A and B are shown apart, each in its own frame.
Chain A
Amino acid sequence: MNKKLSIRNNGMVWIAPAFLFLLIIIYYSIFYTFNLSTMDWDGLSPTMKRIGADNYTKMFADKVFWKAIRNTIVYFVITFVIQNFLGFVFAAILHSDVKLPTVHKCIIFIPTILAPATMAPVFRLMFSPQGMLQKFFNTVHIPITVDWLSKPQTALYVLMAIVVWEFTGMSFILYYAAMSQIDKEMLEAAQIDGAGNIRILITMIFPLCKGTTVSLAMLGVIGALKTFDIPYLITTGGPDHATEFLGTYIYRQGIRQSHLGYAAALSVMLLVMAVVGAFLTNKANKGE
């Protein structure tokens, strides 16, 4: 029936406006960036110099580039697991019989609404050695020094905590949505059979939310590769590039240091990885 319907309609008209809009803005930019990646240009001088693949050779030999890739991977794996675990648990609890669900929902989701530019100074204050956390540890006499942002070994983890704080709301909302589609009677039947809560969560609810998990994985891969605001505003990629991501490195090279061609090469690399990453997650989903 659907087919019969559609033959009569030219659906192209309906997607064309959005598609053309993206073509003009996004695809044009991709093409431009690709072209720029073979140039040497400072962004102001009237002449660009074509240098072929030099930017790419330079990139593969660039230690900071590899560090950014490593950071992105570590960051993705850890934030993905923690953020979605928390989102999932929140969703399950808030679907149960608890008091003040709306208040909790709002508190969890508001971080997602707020601009990273707004929150960056707040987190710098919290994690400073004279900040709120340190004062708390001092008051309860726990001998911990809050100097994590200052150490290359720990700075990345602080940023991850901040990102988890910011985006748990998103995971939560999506899991919450997925769970509201689950057939309650089926769960009740299992409960009558004596299955415990934890077991039902793991063996029944989680598998039923698989679609959401995969979508979150795809968004997570893309999001991790796009990471910019939080490291830029909180650590500016430091100390010693310990929190460098491709986004911050592109900005540093292109906008701050005026190596626009090199930044474009990094951008092309980022795009390729994002597309491949999104494709693989999607494939993994369909393959199963």
Chain B
Amino acid sequence: MFRGCKQFRKRKDDKMKKSISFVLATLMASSTILAACGTANTSAPASAAAPAAEPAEDASSGSDGAGGGSELVWWGWTPGSPLNEQYIAEFNKEFPNTKITWKQTTVDDYDAAIKPALANGEGVDIFEVSAGSANGGVGIFGGQAINMEEALKGYLGDDYADKLNEASLKSMTVDGELKALGVGTVYAGNLWINQDLFDEYNVKVPTNFDEWKSACDTFKENGIIGFVQGAGQGAFNMDTYHAICDNIQPGLFTKATRGEAEWTDPVFVQALDLWKKLFDEGIMQDGALGIQQYPEANNMFLSGQAAMVMMGSWYTMNCLPDTMRANMEAASSTDEPFAMVPINFPDIAGTGNVGYVFCDIDYATAVAKDAADVQAATDFALWLGASEAGQQMIADSLNLVPVLKSVSPNWDKVVLTNPEKQNKPVQEYLTNAMANPDNPRFGGISADLNQAMMDVLAGVASGTLSSADGAARLAEVE
């Protein structure tokens, strides 16, 4: 303690006192001012750039008149603001008295964030769930949701099951109760290509391993990445692996998830070998394991830096010029939208089994048991998942394939970026996808198997795990 008295007296500095009180005072003062701003802002009309950001304003003013509206919070991770607010605005055209606020989290944070909220029983009225072990698994969160079956019956009639996508009902049924209403399905197992780049460099659209590799090589010579995958994000690796498995022997992957086949089956080892080969032979771009599918791989494809990407039916929305332009801007690209086209996963095993895709309900809407107004919340879930109006809106966004069978995209109204190049392949793709046999994407995969598979795929790809050991590790999961 060599510091003396003198030093301390010197430090007794009025300036310092002022500056601390200044900071504290500023904190307090600005908190009050901002509090005022905050309130002011919520009642101000939404600005032009986010037309639907505060859609519930009309609703609340309407409810004042009707005197009995309810306020609900809708939790989810998809499709993302401002689309959700637009959905709410559409809903409010029919139900002006219900004010719904959208609360978005990232895919990764969803489970962690909603679990305490549901357990607490407050602040969640409507929430998104998905099938299986992906985020928001209905098996985990369904316990906090009401049974929607009666409501659905009342809405669509006793033959409701015939009117809706079978998987949507099946995958959302837990212990005999329908816990959520599917909104739309996604399909995966195909590639998307930048047709303009293929045309420009005169590259053949790949149908097998050699063509795929040579396409990648050609693009590489021209300074473009052939195929891009964000292999740091496990879920998309599982899509690729599933596609390889279906290429070798269709349906076996699904059987294994149901315990009807062994993960040690030679098919799965061979599929791991092929997965590894994608990295060894340079089909996967350099550093694939270090990037995420979103944002990196997505951005590379949308900004024209990469010519092929492993994405599913949700990518169809990028065929709409406006959606694509917005997503390209997000990828820091100011170019004009290009013609992107879906293609089958190349026949890399040489078996001739192509065109298989797998599907899940992308998300479904559940109503919390403790919802502030169960009836109003149910109205919303029904409108979004079972009404012609709601489902047509979903269909036309090309984000999801609607679950209500009577609805399909209104191709007269929906105009793609390049109708000449895109209309035929996109429509064929969606038709083929809907005709595919029962083959869930993540729907049948438990959380533990999910984790194990992501680990195994990363391990095999990086060379720290052999294919045989990898398959054995999958088999270890109960």
A127 at the interface (CB under 8 A from B): yes
Q: Are A147 and B290 in contact (CB under 8 A)?
A: yes
Secondary structure of the A side of the interface? loop
Most chain B C-beta atoms within 10 Å of own C-beta, residue among A146, A148, A238, A251: A238
A198 at the interface (CB under 8 A from B): no
Q: How distant is the Cα of A235 from the Cα of B296 in the complex, in angstroms?
A: 13
A43 at the interface (CB under 8 A from B): yes
Q: Are A150 and B464 in contact (CB under 8 A)?
A: no
A257 at the interface (CB under 8 A from B): yes
B144 at the interface (CB under 8 A from A): yes
Q: Which of A152, A181, A239 contacts B3, CB < 8 Å?
A: A181
Q: How distant is the Cα of A121 from the Cα of B286 in the complex, in angstroms?
A: 20
Q: Are B292 and A124 in contact (CB under 8 A)?
A: yes
B148 at the interface (CB under 8 A from A): no
A236 at the interface (CB under 8 A from B): yes
Contact with B along A127-154 (1 / 0, CB 8 A): 1111000000000000001111111100
A256 at the interface (CB under 8 A from B): yes
Q: Are A148 and B111 in contact (CB under 8 A)?
A: no
A45 at the interface (CB under 8 A from B): yes
Residues of A within 8 A of B305 (CB): 130
Q: Are B140 and A42 in contact (CB under 8 A)?
A: yes
Residues of B within 8 A of A252 (CB): 451
Q: How distant is the Cα of A149 from the Cα of B286 in the complex, in angstroms?
A: 11
B465 at the interface (CB under 8 A from A): yes
Residues of A within 8 A of B464 (CB): 152, 240
Interface size class of B (residues with CB under 8 A): 35 or more
Q: How distant is the Cα of A127 from the Cα of B292 in the complex, in angstroms?
A: 12
Residues of A within 8 A of B118 (CB): 44
Contact with B along A178-196 (1 / 0, CB 8 A): 0001000000000000000
Q: Are B291 and A128 in contact (CB under 8 A)?
A: yes
Contact with B along A226-257 (1 / 0, CB 8 A): 00000000011011110000000001100111
Q: Are A44 and B119 in contact (CB under 8 A)?
A: yes
- How many A-B residue contacts, CB cutoff 8 Å? 90
B115 at the interface (CB under 8 A from A): yes
The residues in B between 447 and 462 inclusive whose CB is less than 8 angstroms from any CB of A are 447-448, 451, 455, 458-459, 461-462
| Closest partner residue, chain A, to B447 (CB atom) | A257
Q: How distant is the Cα of A256 from the Cα of B462 in the complex, in angstroms?
A: 24
The residues in A between 24 and 82 inclusive whose CB is less than 8 angstroms from any CB of B are 42-45
Q: Are A257 and B290 in contact (CB under 8 A)?
A: no
- A43-B119, A238-B232 known; A129 vs B112 contact (CB < 8 Å): no
Q: Are B111 and A147 in contact (CB under 8 A)?
A: no
- A240-B459, A256-B112 known; A155 vs B140 contact (CB < 8 Å): no
Q: Which of A155, A181, A258 contacts B290, CB < 8 Å?
A: A155
- What is the number of residues of chain A that contact chain B, defined by CB distance less than 8 Å? 32
Q: Are A43 and B451 in contact (CB under 8 A)?
A: no
Q: Are A239 and B286 in contact (CB under 8 A)?
A: no
Q: Are A128 and B289 in contact (CB under 8 A)?
A: no
Residues of A within 8 A of B286 (CB): 129, 145, 147
Residues of B within 8 A of A181 (CB): 2-3
Contact with A along B110-133 (1 / 0, CB 8 A): 011001001100000000000000
The residues in B between 132 and 151 inclusive whose CB is less than 8 angstroms from any CB of A are 140-141, 143-144
Residues of A within 8 A of B115 (CB): 43-44, 255, 258
Q: How distant is the Cα of A149 from the Cα of B448 in the complex, in angstroms?
A: 25
B254 at the interface (CB under 8 A from A): no
Most chain A C-beta atoms within 10 Å of own C-beta, residue among B286, B447, B465: B286
Residues of B within 8 A of A44 (CB): 115, 118-119, 140-141, 143-144
Residues of A within 8 A of B455 (CB): 240-241
B197 at the interface (CB under 8 A from A): no
Q: Are A124 and B296 in contact (CB under 8 A)?
A: yes
- A236-B108, A255-B115 known; A128 vs B287 contact (CB < 8 Å): yes
Give A103 Cβ to nearest chain B Cβ, in Å.
20
Q: Are B112 and A238 in contact (CB under 8 A)?
A: no
Give A146 Cβ to nearest chain B Cβ, in Å.
7
| Closest partner residue, chain B, to A252 (CB atom) | B451
Q: Are B140 and A150 in contact (CB under 8 A)?
A: no
Q: Are A150 and B112 in contact (CB under 8 A)?
A: no
Q: How distant is the Cα of A241 from the Cα of B452 in the complex, in angstroms?
A: 11
- A44-B115, A240-B464, A257-B448 known; A147 vs B287 contact (CB < 8 Å): yes
Q: How distant is the Cα of A148 from the Cα of B144 in the complex, in angstroms?
A: 43
Give B279 Cβ to nearest chain A Cβ, in Å.
10
Q: Are A239 and B232 in contact (CB under 8 A)?
A: yes
Residues of A within 8 A of B296 (CB): 124, 128, 130
Contact with A along B431-470 (1 / 0, CB 8 A): 0000000000000000110010001001101101100000
B313 at the interface (CB under 8 A from A): no
Contact with B along A205-240 (1 / 0, CB 8 A): 000000000000000000000000000000110111
* 11 residue pairs bridging A and B, Cβ less than 8 Å apart: A124-B291, A127-B290, A129-B285, A147-B287, A151-B290, A152-B462, A236-B108, A239-B289, A239-B462, A240-B459, A257-B448
- Known contacts A147-B290, A150-B287, A151-B289; can you find 13 more A-B pairs with CB under 8 A? A44-B115, A44-B118, A128-B291, A130-B305, A145-B286, A149-B287, A150-B291, A152-B464, A239-B232, A239-B462, A240-B455, A241-B455, A256-B112
* Interface residue ranges, B against A (CB under 8 Å): 2-3, 108, 111-112, 115, 118-119, 140-141, 143-144, 231-232, 234, 285-292, 295-296, 300, 305, 447-448, 451, 455, 458-459, 461-462, 464-465
* Interface residue ranges, A against B (CB under 8 Å): 42-45, 121, 124, 127-130, 145-152, 155, 181, 235-236, 238-241, 251-252, 255-258
Q: Would you list the 6 A-B pairs with minimal beta carbon distance, nearest first?
A: A150-B290, A147-B287, A129-B287, A150-B289, A149-B290, A255-B112
